[in-house]
Amino acid sequence: MPPFAGGVQRLAERVGRAAATKLVFMSEELSAEQAANLQIVAFVVDDADLAERSAKLARDLASGPTRAHAVSKSLLRAWAAGGVTAADSLLGQLVIDLFDTDDVKGALASAVRALENGTPRPDLDFAGH
């Protein structure tokens, strides 16, 4: 891995210094399973299943709690730049608006009902509102 474009430090952030040092200096080819175990990749999918799994992942993300996903992305960016303290400093202002959305109100009510009834929380449809 050439030491430009930020790959070395981003790899170290994900896999730790020792594993990154080995990967960078040895330039050994990794299998998909090894990359998954190191958490360099999120999923390992057979070539034959790639299109179907990709489409399902896109549908799941798009139909999920998109506003909460946006807040999570912002918190992860803040954490990457300044650690937990930086993310914590944004938490209140980012999260407070979520509690006033129809999606969160419905999700919380659904969770309470499931808890009261002793049933699993149902899958929810989120509208981004």
Mean pLDDT, residues 95-106: 88
Based on the fold, state whether residues 30 and 61 are members of the same structural domain.
Answer: no
pLDDT of residue 25: 92
pLDDT of residue 59: 92
Q: What is the pLDDT of residues 110-120, one digit of tens each?
A: 999 999 999 99
Based on the fold, state whether residues 98 and 119 are members of the same structural domain.
Answer: yes
Based on the fold, state whether residues 72 and 11 are members of the same structural domain.
Answer: no
**How many angstroms separate the Cα of 1 from the Cα of each of 13, 22, 29, 41, 68?**
15, 11, 11, 16, 35
Based on the fold, state whether residues 33 and 74 are members of the same structural domain.
Answer: no
Number of structural domains the chain divides into: 2
Based on the fold, state whether residues 39 and 88 are members of the same structural domain.
Answer: no
Domain extent for 1: 1-44
Mean confidence (pLDDT) of the chain: 90
Evaluate if residue 1 carries a pLDDT over 60: no
Based on the fold, state whether residues 20 and 80 are members of the same structural domain.
Answer: no
Q: What is the pLDDT of residues 30-51, one digit of tens each?
A: 999 999 999 999 999 999 999 9
Mean pLDDT, residues 93-108: 88
Query: Exposed/middle/buried for 67, CB within 10 Å: 0-12, 13-18, 19+?
Result: middle
